[in-house]
A and B are shown apart, each in its own frame.
Chain A
Amino acid sequence: MTDAAIPASWKLGAREGVAVPILTVLAVVVVIWYAAAVWLNAPQVAERLDRAGPDWTAGDLVSGAWAMERPVLPAPHQIAVELYDSVIGRPVSSKRSLVYHAGVTLSATVAGFALGLAMGVALAIGIVHVRVLDRSLMPWIIASQTIPILAIAPMIVVVLGNLGFTGLLPKAIISGYLSFFPIAIGMVKGLRSPDPLQLDLMRTYSATKAQTFAKLRWPSSVTFLFPSLKIAIALALVGAIVAELPTGAQAGLGARLLAGSYYGQTIQIWAALFMSAFLAMLAVGAVGLAERGLTRYRGGRL
């Protein structure tokens, strides 16, 4: 999208006027959530109140709906309390601490992301420089974006488990596998982004392939690399969480989700969900920070 295509009114509001609308939308979401919690939990609460006695008020119903132990939809403050308890209330080493589980998932995510980054960048360099690789591999890499490769996760976990690999490695492999494709595609685009004029200039300097790569292709690929890195790390997190589902893993956010769904602990599920959303923000934010830092270091403007 070019700059000219953005309406002026949009551009004006883009910087300073975002906080108020976002907060408004969030507030509306919270209000709807509380209402929905009453609506969804009401049948169960009403039944319990009926058993206790015939006369109860709407106030009892509402407060009951917001304080159930296993609600259909927990109220936001219940999730907040659960998050607080399991993040701050318990020692980090405890198996009931959400920080511990988030750490397990995050370590698999980061390990897988590093794996995918190394593989993706290496392959992109090969594709840009070797014609056969470009013609034969690139169509497959693009096609692989259209297939649900996440479906392979349980098999990798079980097969590697049979070979004696458990814990971090299978999860990291799945995360790496998922993050590999967007990185490879973004990197190929980036390494090809220098225009013919610049490449010709390098040729007139009689620069070697390695020099052209180090001084022109690599630096110009960075702008393309970071957006795909953000997609890739979000995918890596999804991969790590899904990889924790099939084996009845003992630790990790995926395991918390699964345990919560087995025992009907809805509050626990929601807390794990919020934690994984927070991790996603953290991971994508970290990549964004690295991008800012690098751009500033290279003297670019943001």
Chain B
Amino acid sequence: MGMERFLVTVVVAAAIVAAMVVLARDDRWPARVAVPLLFGALLLWLWEMVTVGFDVPRILLPPPSMIAAALVGHLDTLAADFHQTVIRSVIPGYVMGCGAGFLTALAIDRSPFLQRGLLPLGSLISAMPIVGIAPIMVMWFGFDWQSKAAVIVVMTFFPMLVNTLAGLRDTGVLELDLMRSYAASYGQTLMRLRLPAALPFVFNALKLNSTLALIGAIVAEFFGTPIVGMGFRISTEVARMNVDVVWATIAVAAVVGSASYGIISVIERGVTFWHPSFRA
């Protein structure tokens, strides 16, 4: 690394750090947003300067500029991968898995016996490495999106089941008594009181599952795909040492992950606006 470049790097980095330190004392929201953004910029800047300046082998760590170039240069491929993995695998699997978990929770809501049996098992299974069923699902449902969706269904089912059951139990005794004094039927109590009260739990599961679903699809694609998909891209381009394309795919996955989390959070705000955590 040349002396001049080194000095520029250090001065810019020091300036960013100084700005962060100053802004961190400010409690207003522009500063609260600016500090993490500055930190991200600092990280990118150092990453770029160090990888370029010290001639770090591209295979080890490509500079961000190269990843951006790969992102633009392979836009068609990445778009096809996105379509295969997210639109065709993740979304159907996510909807089916979350839906099935939710409906199962409703179905066994009236049976304490089944709840006592399923709840501990559900939590236990949630902690298990379910991605391991990927090879079996690929054998059963073939290489295309169906096998990925199947993995996602199994992965998302149990968190949804456990959370919905916990949410349905979370109604206050006072509110339940009030409903009883109104002579409300089971269905009315469920629709007017218990389901709305369970929504924060349901949304928790929806958020958790959005990440799980993406992981499930990508890992399942390591076990076999038609020649398209984000997991396929990562595993083949790693083998061909095109690390910049791999990083570009990971960047796409990161954006998809945080975007879906963001969308679900926005919906949650709209639907559970009454919840104390949003009324601060």
Give me the interface of A with B, judged by CB distance under 8 Å.
1, 4-7, 9-10, 13-14, 17-18, 21-26, 72, 131-132, 134-140, 143, 145-148, 150-152, 154-155, 158-159, 162-163, 230-231, 234, 237-238, 241-242, 245-246, 253, 257-258, 260-261, 264, 266, 269-270, 272-273, 276-277, 280-281, 284
Q: Given A132-B24, A145-B211, A280-B128 in contact, is the A159-B60 Cβ separation under 8 Å?
A: yes
Residues of B within 8 A of A280 (CB): 127-129
Question: Which one of B129, B207, B254 has the highest number of Cβ atoms from chain A below 10 Å of its Cβ?
Answer: B129
Closest to A239 in B: B129
23 residue pairs of the A-B complex, CB under 8 angstroms, read: A7-B173, A14-B116, A21-B116, A22-B121, A135-B20, A137-B36, A140-B36, A146-B261, A147-B211, A148-B215, A148-B257, A150-B215, A155-B234, A155-B247, A241-B131, A242-B131, A253-B132, A261-B139, A269-B136, A272-B132, A273-B133, A280-B128, A281-B127
Of the candidates A7, A10, A26, A136, the one whose C-beta lies within 8 Å of that of B36 is A136
Q: Who on chain A is nearest to B260 by CB?
A: A146
The docked-state distance in angstroms from the alpha carbon of A234 to that of B112 is 28
Cα A136 to Cα B33 in complex, Å, equals 9
Contacting residue for B39 out of A24, A137, A150, A162, CB 8 A: A137
Question: Which range holds the interface residue count of chain B?
Answer: 35 or more
A261: B residues at CB distance < 8 A: 135-136, 138-139, 223-224
CB contact between B114 and one of A25, A154, A242 (< 8 Å): that residue: A25
Closest to A272 in B: B132
Contact B253 A151 (CB under 8 A): yes
B 200-239 binary contact with A (CB < 8 Å = 1; else 0): 0000000100110011001100111000001100110011
B172 and A5 contact, CB distance less than 8 A: yes
- Using Cβ atoms and an 8 Å threshold, which residues of chain B touch A18? 116-117, 120
**Chain B hits for A17, CB < 8 A:** 116
User: B120 near A22 (CB under 8 angstroms)?
Assistant: yes
CA distance A294 to B138 in the complex (A): 44
For the A-B complex, the count of residue pairs with Cβ-Cβ distances under 8 Å equals 178
B117 proximity list for chain A (CB < 8 A): 18, 21-25
The answer to whether A4 touches B234 (Cβ under 8 A) is no
Q: CA separation between A52 and B67, bound complex, in Å?
A: 60
Interface status of B124 (Cβ within 8 A of chain A): yes
Q: Is the CB of A136 within 8 A of B118?
A: no
Contact, CB under 8 Å: B215 / A151: yes
Q: How far is the CB of B124 from chain A (nearest CB, A)?
A: 7
Q: Whose C-beta in chain A lies nearest to the C-beta of B125?
A: A277
Q: Report yes or no: A148 in contact with B214, Cβ–Cβ below 8 A.
A: yes
- Complex interface bits, B251-271 against A, C-beta within 8 A gives 1, otherwise 0: 001100110110000000000
Q: Measured between alpha carbons, how far is A264 from B139 in the docked complex, in Å?
A: 8
Task: For A25, give the chain B residue with the smallest CB separation.
Answer: B117
CB-defined contacts of B121 to chain A, threshold 8 Å: 22, 25-26
A266 near B129: Cβ-Cβ < 8 Å: no
* Given A7-B173, A241-B132: A155 touches B211 (CB 8 Å cut-off): no
Task: Say whether B25 contacts A5, CB under 8 Å.
Answer: no
Q: Which residues of B contact A266 (CB under 8 A)?
A: 136, 139
Would you call B59 an interface residue if the criterion is a C-beta within 8 Å of the partner chain's C-beta atoms? yes
B71 at the interface (CB under 8 A from A): no
Q: Is B104 an interface residue (CB 8 A)?
A: no
Let me know if B140 is at the binding interface, CB within 8 A: yes
Q: In the complex the two chains form, is B166's CB within 8 Å of A1's CB?
A: yes
Residues in A neighbouring B176, C-beta threshold 8 A: 7
Contacting residue for A277 out of B32, B116, B129, B258, CB 8 A: B129
Q: With the chains together, A272 CA to B170 CA distance in Å?
A: 38
Q: Are B173 and A154 interface neighbours, CB within 8 A?
A: no
Is the pair A151, B218 in contact by a Cβ cutoff of 8 Å? yes
How many Å lie between the Cα of A132 and that of B22 in the bound state?
A: 9
> B169 at the A/B interface (Cβ < 8 Å)?
yes
Query: Are A4 and B173 neighbours in the complex by a CB distance under 8 Å?
Result: yes
Residues of A within 8 A of B214 (CB): 148
A284–B127 CB distance below 8 A: yes
**B173 contacts which chain A residues (CB < 8 A)?**
4-5, 7
Please indicate the chain B residues that have their CB under 8 angstroms from the CB of A152 in the complex. Answer: 250
Contacts of A25 in B (CB 8 A): 114, 117-118, 121
Q: Is the CB of B219 within 8 A of A150?
A: yes
**B173: min CB distance to chain A, Å:** 6
**Bound Cα distance from A132 to B214, whole angstroms:** 32
Report A-chain residues with C-beta under 8 Å of the C-beta of B257. Answer: 146-148
Asked, given contacts A18-B120, A22-B120, A146-B211, whether A159 binds B243 with beta carbons under 8 Å apart, the answer is yes
